[in-house]
Structure 1
């Protein structure tokens, strides 16, 4: 559904391109951080040549982290912020919780349906359908975190639930025997790539789907980075974003209980605590994006909090976006952030369309030449492929995906799935 007007407290709405003045109930820094995150997500997903990628622009092979590994958790963190801000404003306008619960379910189902449609179009090969993925994980985390936040919006309760999720996941991955392989740290290494409980469970689920529905596959054949069990701590990431939103709300409204400077300082300190806690837990439960380990949740949420604190201090406190230079530096991220899901879906559509165009000839590696390959090898890498040409293609790809968002921004259309 597309809307032509801006709802004051809705975190998916956009501010005016001319004034950049946010209504008092909005947190403009959240929009900017969302825009930066979705643009970076597209950038790292669409390198021109997968053999030539800067280390920080690709995922860690297994344990450890890169800047790319912080993108998805930051987006889920912002989803948690949006849940609180949106739910609070709708309750203030008189919506009842049952109505909001139904809205949450409908929106989650829609996001999941869009993900399946993207995967199926244009050949509708159900036997190759990947049920897991980025959008399905967003849908599931949004659904569960949204329903939890309808039940309680007390920071203490949300933090307690998050702690239970993270500790439970650690206990499961550390102590529960993996059928056919044994107990982690005793019979098999902790977080062995294929012999861990999450991978075993996902193989079993996809095997069941293949035998009954004749569909389903795992992204990495034997495992999937967006599998079912690792969604448990991912929900924790979303709830930590919700806690951050509760703190942000304390500095807003007609009777704020803390100043904006206190709010920014609190976010920053909490971020440092999250980073430190994640690095400490990493000694016993390694930071691992593909398994979304509990240490990874704390570390990534800490980084997101530091980023949010910086944006909040720069934009909501010091109004950087109202300066001449700030206007142009923040505008692209506001455009991306105003329709983040549209940008992500557009990136998937453009990528798939280019891959479906088959041209005569092959790449220098002997692979069939697609539309995307032709653009890369004839325009960006005509004199050879390097890390620079690969990232240049990715930046151009981001700019292409920016165009639909810019058109929607100009028309003040903000799409809500």
Structure 2
């Protein structure tokens, strides 16, 4: 992992792991990544604050969408994590594919992919537990960055060593295989196919072999077993990136094709939901199709930036997307609330209740964005 500063023009710069690619090719991907990160750098609190301030049904519904269901079901907030992994996959043909085209051996590229994946796993452990020494039983090893690192790594290994047809087969096999695994197994003492938190086989295996503590005591949403279908999320991104990189199809047709594919995936997910519920905690196969479909729709929309050339509106998000790992990790080591209060507490007090909290939530996001804009202007980006 390095912090890089370069004097090259930004359009030539290679940025933001694990999503390195030539940014001039897909400006939209930086913008979409920034849109994704925007919601977990504090923007969701604006909706929670508005709901508390107004008690209006409209804001209550929106606020609820920025929470996670307790188990089965889907809220918008469930999309943030898999969308990032999908985007990492889309970038693969532009980064890993570029290295292979330049003549690097598959083993050389493999080492870079494995190194990136393991660094992300390490960063995830640090994010969860800090830098202080803890007893093994108190360390949580499962993490968002760890899930991204492992799924990214294995999806890229499949990409390096297989053709596109084989990648499609892998995608289908991972989803169907995971479905069959959970359908015909269970934790000891539970009926076959039990998908409750206590009774499902994936959580049981994590409880049995995963060291340290689990996020929900008996279950970890970033456990080892549910990494299997998450590889499928990364592969879907890779297949999409390969399609976008194809010069034989014009941009408008690509955007339309992605939108149609997205709708089909969501339809399949809703059908599969009757037998294998959409569930982020288990990263079920229906969940992969659902978030994959929504990710395709969003990418189709953002891809119009590259097709039509209207970039100015997306600059706000691009600033975030170019330092996504940095802003995520900063939450563990920078007291952003303290910084926000230092600059804007007077404003919140001036406005007073109930909307002072809404203003402070907006200021919280703007302080983070100002930091990222400073890094952007200095051409300093966190790279893995």
TM-score when normalising by structure 1: 0.79
Residue 48 to residue 272, structure 1, CA distance change in 2 (3 Å): closer
Task: Compute the displacement of 1:380 (Å).
Answer: 5.5
Aligned to 2:306: 316
- SS of the aligned residue for 1:182 comes to coil
CA separation of 1:2/1:191 partners in 2, compared to 1, >3 Å: closer, same or farther?
same
Deviation, 1:49, is 7.6
Name the structure 1 match of 2:372.
405
Correspondences of 1:160-239 after superposition (within 5 Å): 160-184=169-193, 190-206=194-210, 209=211, 216-239=212-235
Q: RMSD over aligned Cα, in angstroms?
A: 3.0
Report the CA distance shift for 1:157/1:380 in structure 2 as closer, same or farther (over 3 A): farther
Q: Do residues 396 (structure 1) and 363 (structure 2) align?
A: yes
Contact 1:12 1:31 in 2 (8 A): no
Q: Are the aligned partners of 1:48 and 1:390 in contact in 2 as well (CA < 8 Å)?
A: no
Structure richer in helix, relative to its length: 2
Give the 3-state SS of the residue equivalent to 2:334 in structure 1.
helix
Cα shift readout 1:324-352 (whole Å, capped 9, x = no counterpart): xxx2x31111111111111111123236x
Q: What is the Cα deviation at residue 70 of structure 1?
A: 0.9
Partner of 1:134: 144
Q: Does structure 1 retain, via aligned residues, the 8 Å contact 2:16–2:325?
A: no
Aligned 1:271-286 pairs, distance under 5 A: 271-286=262-277
Q: Distance in 1 between matches of 2:79 and 2:297?
A: 12
Q: Deviations over 1:58-116 (max 9, x none)?
A: 11222111110111111110011122210122222232211111111111121122222
Shift of 1:182: 3.0
Q: Which runs of 5+ in 2 are unaligned?
A: 53-59
- Quick one: distance in 2 between partners of 1:347 and 1:395? 16
Are positions 1:337 and 2:326 aligned together?
Answer: no
1:103 corresponds in structure 2 to 112
Contact 2:11 2:23 (8 Å CA) reproduced: no
Matched residue, 1:360: none
The answer to whether structure 1 residue 249 and structure 2 residue 245 are counterparts is: yes
Correspondent of 2:88 among 70, 79, 96: 79
1:2 and 2:12 aligned? no
Work out the CA distance in 1 between the residues paired with 2:343 and 2:373.
23
Q: TM (normalized to structure 2)?
A: 0.85
Q: Is the alpha carbon distance of 1:393 and 1:72 closer, same or farther for their aligned partners in structure 2, counting shifts above 3 Å?
A: farther
2:129 — aligned with what? 120
Maintained 8 Å contact 1:176/1:183:
yes
Q: 1:267 aligns with which of 253, 258, 261?
A: 258
Q: Please tell me whether the aligned partners of residues 9 and 89 of structure 1 are also in contact (alpha carbons under 8 angstroms).
A: no
